[in-house]
């Protein structure tokens, strides 16, 4: 039997040069020219362009170009990029076979993460140092992600895969691959705006996860699948799905007050409310609220929107003093539901749009890259005597 001696006094961890900040709140993790947010004034800009102007006048294809390459494209460049995106939508049949093999009990986000990681295995031209490989990988991942989401959705709900069309916009083609019907132009435009609004949002959990992976010089498929994993959680991208479940549980506007007051009394988080950065209403929520109201007015109303507005009112009364307001996820689910899209697709739709932002960060991270290696404050013990398993109590 090993003799048990008292462990020598623990050596204390060296005092870190930088104080520990839970959640790295306010700690800069990179220098970036991709996205600007002023959370006090509700300003969001991609490459210096206000989100409201992009939602009004741009397309997802043009916004993706802007994010990736840093400037709005000239006509010829936009046409080439749009064409490249359209002709890269189809995926190899073995990827469709892979999706068929995934259990239909899985979440579409899990299928997206797995299939984006697998996608890279089909394309050896992913040398992160080569500009043409970077361009081809970026176009390929953005273009094919919607195909993978739509394919898994249809296959896991017992329907056939619908191959993409290359004569539709990115947003319209996504809707086409879900239903097999060309969407109405106004519905396709709403999808396009939703993609623009979700395309980038600076250094959040998923972007940070992607940049950490990028800093190891991993290939872009792996970078994006890391970021997708981080986006799945209910405190991040998963919130939009939770919002619609909450609104459906509430059901009627009159039931919103007791429901929300009960959550607040039990110190529970209300999904779609609050943001680490915004201390006013999220500017994307403003655009989405307007879109939801316009779409729903055309259809003669929707009880979910009325419930959402009542929830917002009760939250403002109780949490307004804490400067907690609706975020992007609060109204996106209402818009998607009005478009007839199922909640399980909400987070994947966020992901396929955000891929443009993640890849912009991947390209930026590669310039002057240094591998991420933060520190920790060790709080465990030292020099524990090893006791054989039979002698442990
Ligand atoms: N419901 C109720 N209270 C909330 C809240 C919410 N959704 N969000 C924040 N608060 C409260 C916090 O509990 C905290 O209260 P306290 O000061 O009494 O402890 C206070 O508001 C400040 O919170 P804050 O520091 O701003 O939150 P955070 O930065 O730690 O977390 C989120 C930010 C987004 C994770 C958080 O607001 C949240 O969980 N929201 C719901 C999920 C969601 O919609 N996520 C999508 C984000 S785009």
User: Which CATH class name applies to 239-338?
Assistant: mainly alpha
329 labelled catalytic: yes
Q: Is 4's pLDDT higher than 90?
A: no
Kindly report, residue by residue over 293-310, the tens digit of the pLDDT.
888 888 787 888 999 999
What is the reported pLDDT for 58?
A: 98
Q: Is the CB of 269 under 6 A from ligand 1?
A: yes
User: In whole angstroms, how far apart are CA 155 and each of 90, 118, 161?
Assistant: 16, 18, 6
User: Which residue's CA is the closest to the ligand 1 atom numbered 27?
Assistant: 276
- 225-283, pLDDT tens digit by residue? 999 999 998 888 888 889 999 999 999 999 999 999 999 999 999 999 999 899 999 99
Residue 66 in contact with ligand 1 by CB distance below 6 A: no
Q: State the CB neighbour count (10 A cutoff) for residue 115.
A: 25
Q: What is the dihedral of CA 183, 63, 356, 49, to 10 degrees?
A: -140
Give nearest CA residue, ligand 1 atom 3.
Answer: 269
- Supply the pLDDT for residue 104: 85
What six digits make up the tokens of 220?
């872009």
Residue in 335, 322, 324 with CA at minimum distance from that of residue 281: 324
Flag the least confident range among 1-10, 29-38, 289-298, 367-376: 1-10
CA distance 274 to 152: 31
Q: Is 274 in the pocket of ligand 1 (CB under 6 A)?
A: yes
Ligand 1: atom nearest CA of 273 is 7
Q: Is the distance from CB of 331 to CB of 244 less than 8 angstroms?
A: no
From the list 170, 198, 201, 275, the catalytic residue is: 275
Residue 162, judged by CB atoms within 10 A of its CB (0-12, 13-18, 19+), counts as middle
Q: Ligand 1: does its nearest atom lie under 6 Å from the Cβ of 192?
A: no
Q: Is 238 in the pocket of ligand 1 (CB under 6 A)?
A: no
Nearest-5° Cα angle at 245, 311 to 290: 50
Looking up tokens 């459906």 gives 248
97 has catalytic annotation:
no
Residue extents of the structural domains in the chain:
33-233+345-365, 239-338
Q: What are the tokens at 20?
A: 């520990």
Q: Rounded to whole angstroms, how far apart are CA atoms 366 and 126?
A: 13
- Alpha-carbon span 356 to 257, nearest angstrom: 38
* CB of 327 sitting under 6 A from ligand 1: yes
Please tell me the distance between residue 51's alpha carbon and the centre of ligand 1 in angstroms.
23
Percent of residues, the chain, with pLDDT higher than 70: 96
Q: Which CATH superfamily is domain 33-233+345-365 in?
A: Citrate Synthase, domain 1 (1.10.580.10)
Take atom 46 of ligand 1 and give the residue whose Cα is closest. 236
348, two tokens: 């994947």
């Amino acid at each position: 039997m090993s003799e048990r001696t008292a462990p020598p006094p623990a050596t204390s961890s060296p005092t870190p040069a930088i104080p520990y900040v839970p959640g790295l709140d306010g700690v800069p993790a990179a220098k970036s020219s991709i996205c600007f947010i002023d959370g006090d004034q509700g300003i969001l800009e991609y490459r210096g362009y206000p989100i409201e102007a992009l939602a009004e006048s741009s397309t997802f294809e043009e916004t993706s170009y802007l994010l990736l390459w840093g400037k709005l494209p000239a006509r010829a460049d936009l046409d080439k990029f749009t064409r490249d995106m359209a002709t890269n939508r189809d995926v190899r049949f073995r990827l469709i076979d892979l999706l068929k093999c995934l259990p239909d009990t899985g979440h579409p986000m899990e299928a997206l993460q797995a299939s984006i990681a697998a996608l890279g295995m089909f394309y050896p031209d992913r040398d992160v140092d080569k500009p043409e490989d970077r361009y081809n990988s970026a176009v390929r991942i953005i273009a094919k992600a919607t195909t993978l989401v739509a394919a898994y959705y249809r296959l896991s709900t017992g329907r056939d895969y619908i191959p993409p069309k290359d004569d539709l916009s990115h947003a319209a083609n996504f809707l086409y691959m879900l239903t097999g019907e060309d969407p109405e132009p106004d519905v396709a435009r709403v999808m396009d705006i939703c993609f623009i609004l979700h395309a980038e949002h600076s250094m959040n959990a998923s972007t940070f996860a992607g940049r950490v992976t990028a800093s190891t010089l991993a290939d872009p498929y792996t970078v994006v699948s890391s970021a997708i994993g981080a986006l799945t959680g209910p405190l991040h991208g998963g919130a939009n799905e939770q919002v619609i479940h909450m609104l459906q549980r509430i059901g009627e506007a009159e039931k919103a007050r007791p429901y929300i007051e009960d959550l607040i009394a039990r110190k529970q988080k209300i999904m779609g409310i609050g943001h680490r950065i915004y201390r006013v209403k999220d500017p994307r929520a403003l655009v989405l609220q307007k879109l939801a109201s316009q779409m729903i007015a055309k259809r003669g109303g929707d009880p979910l929107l009325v419930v959402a507005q009542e929830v917002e009112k009760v939250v403002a009364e109780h949490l307004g003093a804490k400067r907690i307001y609706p975020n992007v996820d609060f109204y996106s689910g209402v818009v998607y539901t009005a478009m007839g899209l199922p909640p399980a697709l909400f987070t994947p739709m966020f992901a396929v749009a955000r891929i443009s932002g993640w890849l912009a960060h991947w390209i930026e991270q590669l310039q002057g890259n240094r591998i991420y290696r933060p520190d920790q404050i060790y709080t465990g013990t030292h020099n524990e005597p090893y006791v054989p398993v039979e002698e442990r109590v």
